[in-house]
């Protein structure tokens, strides 16, 4: 039971972009821990090997939490025990925040915010099944931040959750509007276990603001790391009083190629490059004339293609090539 998220900056789970290669580059750039993409407890319960493979990770991504979703306590207990035995994570995180219609309409993810008693049963099942720290990732409400999230958080705390991560939006907001740090603070004030704040952290100043306004024990961030995994190190420098400069183009592309190498090592060159295309687009965001490189970025099918595109950009910017 040794994992603690306190005073740490974690990489939040992201179904799709949050694969092994991305988690690995984020850890290498200063993320203190990582979380897998959400994984169906029911699919693991029914023996789906492809689903279970989503929990696979390299030692470099540790400490890692494996995130499970579902609403069946028996399946949750089994899945928690299975992933502990198979992957040796630092803990289990339960998804009670996903707003996606196909998840919500099944009663999973953020739909559980309306069912605190069932959520508590799920936490209890995961704790008993794994014997590991179990955390809950939640939002501040379904349609409105009506204060019910405080009771919900208290219910999962009483059931044995080690900490909760709160994304400061309602389900109805999806990813729009701004995260409400006041609501995260209310939940933090009502609980004895650590509360980790999440939502809209993209740099040092926004990290300082979420910590100040929520009083949270730690931070998790997701979108701010896409194409900028070095954000973790920059946040740490800023919080330590050493605000640094934005990374150079060469530094950014060097991280990009490193992440691609990790992805290819995990998925093979063909599949790895196809899945990396969206990450390459994130790395190009904000650079001059990015639009003209988009088509090529969306078509890379080898490491050589990616390197050639990067070198083309560096050459046009009169920078040294790789």
- What are the residue numbers of the active site? 98
Q: Does 196 bind ligand FMN (CB under 6 A)?
A: no
Among 25, 29, 38, 113, binds ligand FMN (CB under 6 A): 38
**Which residues lie closer than 8 Å to 191 by C-beta, 6 or more apart?**
153, 154, 157, 164
Of residues 134 through 173, those in contact with ligand FMN by CB under 6 A are: 137, 167
C-alpha 129/C-alpha 79 separation (Å) is 8
Closest Cα to residue 35, out of 52, 55, 50?
Answer: 55
Q: Which of 38, 19, 33, 6 is CA-nearest to residue 226? A: 19
Q: Considering only the stretches 84-92, 114-122, 195-203, 230-238, report the one whose residues sit in contact with ligand FMN under the rule CB under 6 A.
A: 195-203
Q: Which of 1, 2, 16, 59 binds ligand FMN (CB under 6 A)?
A: 16
| Binding of residue 17 to ligand FMN (CB under 6 A) | yes
Cβ atoms within 10 Å of 91's Cβ, excluding its own = 26
54 binds ligand FMN (CB under 6 A): no
Determine the Cα–Cα distance for residues 294 and 265; give it in Å rounded to an integer: 24
Selected from 3, 5, 9, 14, the binder of ligand FMN by CB under 6 A is 14
Q: Is 176 in the site for ligand FMN (CB under 6 A)?
A: no
Which residue is it, tokens 């990813």? 175
Q: Left, alpha or beta for 136 (phi > 0: left; psi -120 to 50: alpha)?
A: beta
223 part of the interface to ligand FMN, by CB under 6 A: yes
Residue 291 vs residues 273, 295, 297, 311: alpha-carbon distances, Å: 20, 8, 10, 16
CB of 137 to ligand FMN, least distance (A): 4
What does the alpha-carbon distance between residue 253 and residue 321 come to, in Å, rounded to a whole number? 10
The whole-angstrom separation of Cα 94 and Cα 98 is: 10
Q: What residues are paired with 69 via a beta bridge?
A: 40
- Binding ligand FMN (rule: CB under 6 A), the pick from 207, 221, 235, 273 is 221
Per CB under 6 A, the list member of 25, 142, 164, 201 interacting with ligand FMN is: 201
Token pair listed for 204: 């040092």
Residue 37 interacts with ligand FMN (CB under 6 A)? Answer: yes
Q: Which of residues 62-121 bind ligand FMN (CB under 6 A)?
A: 67, 95, 97-98
Min separation Cβ 160 and ligand FMN, Å: 19
Count of residues in contact with ligand FMN, rule CB under 6 A: 22
**Minimum gap (Å) between residue 282 Cβ and ligand FMN:** 11
Task: Name the minimum Å distance from CB 38 to ligand FMN.
Answer: 3
Nearest distance from C-beta of residue 165 to ligand FMN, angstroms: 8
Contacts of 234 (CB under 8 A, 6+ apart): 203, 204, 244
List CB contacts of 206: < 8 A, sequence separation 6 or more. Answer: 200, 224
Q: Which stretch binds ligand FMN (CB under 6 A): 49-57, 140-148, 196-204, 210-218?
A: 196-204
Interaction between residue 12 and ligand FMN (CB under 6 A): yes
Q: How far is the CB of 278 from ligand FMN (least distance, A)?
A: 9
| Structure token pair of residue 18 | 């949050």
Tell which one of 126, 222, 284, 313 touches ligand FMN (CB under 6 A): 222
- The minimum distance between CB 30 and ligand FMN, in angstroms, equals 15
Which stretches of the chain bind ligand FMN, using CB under 6 A? 12-17, 37-38, 67, 95, 97-98, 137, 167, 198-201, 221-224
């Amino acid at each position: 039971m040794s994992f603690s998220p306190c005073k740490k900056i974690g990489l939040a789970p992201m179904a799709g972009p949050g694969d092994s290669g991305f988690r690995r580059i984020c850890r290498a750039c200063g993320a203190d821990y990582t979380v897998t993409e959400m994984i169906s407890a029911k699919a693991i319960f029914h023996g789906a090997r492809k689903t279970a493979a989503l929990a696979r990770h390299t030692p470099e991504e540790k400490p890692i939490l494996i995130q499970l979703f579902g609403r069946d306590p028996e399946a949750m207990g089994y899945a928690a025990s299975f992933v502990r035995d198979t992957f040796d994570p630092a803990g289990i995180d339960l998804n009670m925040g996903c707003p996606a219609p196909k998840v919500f309409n099944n009663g999973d993810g953020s739909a559980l915010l309306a069912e605190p008693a069932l959520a508590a049963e799920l936490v209890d099942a995961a704790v008993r099944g794994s014997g590991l720290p179990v955390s809950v990732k939640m939002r501040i409400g379904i349609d409105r931040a009506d204060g019910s999230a405080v009771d919900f958080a208290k219910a999962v705390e009483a059931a044995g959750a080690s900490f909760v991560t709160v994304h400061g939006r309602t389900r109805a907001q999806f990813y729009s509007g701004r995260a409400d740090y006041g609501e995260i603070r209310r939940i933090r004030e009502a609980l004895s276990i650590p509360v980790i704040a999440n939502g809209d952290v993209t740099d040092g100043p926004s990290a300082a603001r979420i910590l100040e306004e929520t009083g949270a024990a730690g931070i998790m961030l997701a979108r701010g790391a896409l194409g900028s995994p070095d954000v973790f190190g920059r946040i740490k420098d800023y919080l330590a009083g050493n605000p640094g400069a934005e990374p150079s183009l060469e530094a950014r592309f060097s991280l990009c190629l490193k992440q691609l190498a990790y992805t290819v090592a995990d998925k093979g060159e063909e599949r790895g490059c196809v899945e990396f295309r969206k990450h390459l687009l994130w790395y190009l965001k904000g650079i001059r004339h990015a639009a003209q490189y988009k088509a090529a970025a969306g078509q890379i099918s080898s490491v050589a293609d990616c390197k050639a595109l990067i070198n083309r950009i560096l050459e046009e910017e009169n920078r040294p090539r790789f």
